[in-house]
Structure 1
Amino acid sequence: MTKAEILTNFCYCCEVSKANGEDPIGSAGNYDAFLFIEVPEPWPIEFWQAQPQFQPIADLATQLKKEQGLSLRAMAIAPDCQYSQPNYTRILYYRRPSEEGFVQFEKQEFVVPDEQVVTVVLALLQQPDLLPQFESSRQETEDIREMMLCTHGSYDVACGRFGYPLYRQLRSEHAANSGGKLRVWRCTHLGPHNFAPTLVDFPEGRYWGHLELEVLDLLVYRRGPVADLYDYYQGWAGLSQVEQIAEREMWMQEGWNWFHYAKVSQVLAMDESDEYYPDWAEVRIDFNSHEGRVSGTYEARVEVSGTVKTMWSSGKDKPLWEVKQYRVSRLNKVV
């Protein structure tokens, strides 16, 4: 497909990406913590800058990154007519556990009066000794699965155009019939929007992109071949880019049980010529089940397999960018 053909026939970046065979793997955000705050739509492009009441949160996040190396991803979720309460704001906070290997992020949830949001978030991030005074607002929802699906159309039209139909299906069918075990939310920019529609699935923190209505049952219920979700997996937030690429192949070997294993990952060696998109890497992942009956180690080599052209944002006359694509050239189960 030539550049002229793409610009004539496509205006959505995700359609260009998909038509050119761009693989979403390795694009999941790798963060120590995730923060979701209920904020009504509409959401402007520069969402947090348009919310001056949240500036203390942004300032603290910058400070924690500088002083402690803590990476925090903060996003808004749209209030829901069933889940939400007038004059109250829901706060969802997921953090990487302190132990070395883990399966999922640790969750805390509060529903507080609107005027207490910043105070509670600052306590979550830096002053946990203040949290007991908000104990009556704590929600015991550790057993609830939360899916955040990007519908941030002002950020990129592809997110609204392709994200909302999937949200509607997940919300009206899957969440509504889950017996309260699944909630589905609209969220601000998740990214990358060339992989729209995208969602992140908590508490595990798995990212999915280029999603289609036909795969939602498999994504939610996890009954069927894992290979049918291969092309939609962006990766696990607990791993770096090259580790995510390697981990997908291990999932293909182990099946759905893989998502229940605690993992410790290590990059053994990596090409240093390109900090963000290396040509190769050697990765090791140790895993074990909760009860200890299953354990093992995989070692993998990740290599560039070629390049494709993609479009970073939607619209006419947008430039095309050449991006590296990866494959796992060697995968050994060594233990």
Structure 2
Amino acid sequence: MTRLNLCADESRAAGEDPIGTAPHWAEVTVLELDVPMWARLRDVNAWTPEQQDVFAALRGKVEASGAGFGLLMSAPATPGRPLRVRHYTLGGTPHGGLGGYVRRDYASDLPQSDWARGLHDTLLDPSALTGGNWTAAPAPDGPDLHVCTHGTVDAACGRYGVPVFQALGGAGVRAWRTGHFGGHRFAATAVELPSGLLWAHLTPELAVQVARREVTPAQVAGHLRGHAGLPPLAQLLDRHLLVQYGWDWLNRARHATVETHPDGGHTVTLTSSGPHGPETYRAPVLPAAPLLLPGSSHAPARAPVAQWTLGPVTTLPGTRA
């Protein structure tokens, strides 16, 4: 039997640019669940009627608003403890730059198996977080790196994610062993909050350097999947501006629109909160030659993977860069 290459190795060997692969999230809920609970949450056929209702309501919310949400499962520091949730919403401080997410923590006496209550109360009915089952807990300053180590979903995440998680913890960076959130061909892949950046093909050394900002954005641009606060194609322009302005760019609130043209091209317009007022940038995004890559380390099937090119960036009148 032929042994398959890891999909992450195939992606790196092909020179895949991961930019534009970050999901677009208006908010993120992190459920602190023991690793065995991850499989139970992912087993749709085993959901209770209550759990099914929660996800049906979440689908309705996304369809009505067009705003997606992130769901991360992270192993708690103390296994077996009651359910805790961390809820991130796009916005300013505390505990994040204007361009990132605001973190709020909640503890409960609920068993971890009641994870659907955590989703309902953070994403569907936040008023339930005041009193009742939940107690607000102080949220710490600094970044959290959620590293996918979910090797049962894809072997690449177990192979490359676990050493990255261990290196971050050994360096004193707050890191979480996290279930699958998409993009295992980018292993080791991580979600950095509250900045909202997603990273690809991290090594243990590089992960620590990124977390400590010991490298410039230009040095790690090829490892950036994008900022989850923006639509995928807008993430290309956002990366360009991050490289131009440096890490301080992350302290700016940003929003963007994407216009699609009949020829398959797009125009991205991004406005940021600059030091002297709003700054607006525009650039075309054009399709590049796709890559033929496996979607999994466990199956040989390959499919085209989109690649994109950012055209000339224009600073619109009235912008004071």
Q: Same-fold call, TM > 0.5? A: yes
Instruction: Decide which moves more: 202-211 or 125-134.
Output: 125-134
Per-residue CA deviations over 1:232-287 (Å, capped at 9, x if unaligned) read: 000000111110112111111111111111112122x32346xxxxx421111121
Give the number of aligned pairs: 308
**How many angstroms apart in 2 are the aligned matches of 1:138 and 1:144?**
18
Corresponding residue number in structure 2 for 1:281: 266
Per-residue CA deviations over 1:40-62 (Å, capped at 9, x if unaligned) read: 11333971525547444323312
Match of 1:26 among 9, 20, 23: 20
Secondary structure of the residue that 1:114 maps to in structure 2? coil
- Normalising by structure 2, we get a TM-score of 0.86
Give the drift of 1:198.
0.7
Secondary structure of the residue that 1:299 maps to in structure 2? strand
**How many angstroms apart in 2 are the aligned matches of 1:134 and 1:106?**
22
CA change 1:129–1:296 in 2 (3 A) is: closer
Secondary structure of the residue that 1:147 maps to in structure 2? strand
Corresponding residue number in structure 1 for 2:127: 129
**Runs of 5+ consecutive residues of structure 1 not aligned to the other structure:** 1-6, 176-182, 274-278
**How many angstroms apart in 1 are the aligned matches of 2:189 and 2:40?**
17
Match of 1:78 among 71, 75, 80: 75
Corresponding residue number in structure 1 for 2:32: 38
One-letter identity of the residue aligned with 1:107: R
Match of 2:297 among 314, 321, 327: 314
**How many angstroms apart in 2 are the aligned matches of 1:117 and 1:311?**
32
Corresponding residue number in structure 2 for 1:332: 314
Corresponding residue number in structure 2 for 1:238: 229
State the superposition RMSD in angstroms. 2.7
One-letter identity of the residue aligned with 1:223: E
One-letter identity of the residue aligned with 1:173: A
* Counterparts of residues 241-280 of structure 1 (less than 5 Å): 241-267=232-258, 269-272=259-262, 279-280=264-265
Identity over the aligned pairs, expressed in percent?
Answer: 25
Corresponding residue number in structure 1 for 2:101: 105
**How many angstroms apart in 1 are the aligned matches of 2:59 and 2:129?**
22
Match of 2:56 among 51, 55, 59: 59
**How many angstroms apart in 1 are the aligned matches of 2:73 and 2:53?**
16
* Counterparts of residues 291-306 of structure 1 (less than 5 Å): 292-293=275-276, 295-306=278-289
**How many angstroms apart in 1 are the aligned matches of 2:106 and 2:233?**
35
Give the drift of 1:307.
2.3
CA change 1:10–1:333 in 2 (3 A) is: farther
CA change 1:93–1:57 in 2 (3 A) is: farther
- Normalising by structure 1, we get a TM-score of 0.82
**Maintained 8 Å contact 1:149/1:187:** yes
CA change 1:112–1:63 in 2 (3 A) is: same
**How many angstroms apart in 2 are the aligned matches of 1:70 and 1:307?**
27
* Counterparts of residues 87-106 of structure 1 (less than 5 Å): 87-97=81-91, 103-106=99-102
CA change 1:68–1:48 in 2 (3 A) is: farther
**Runs of 5+ consecutive residues of structure 2 not aligned to the other structure:** none
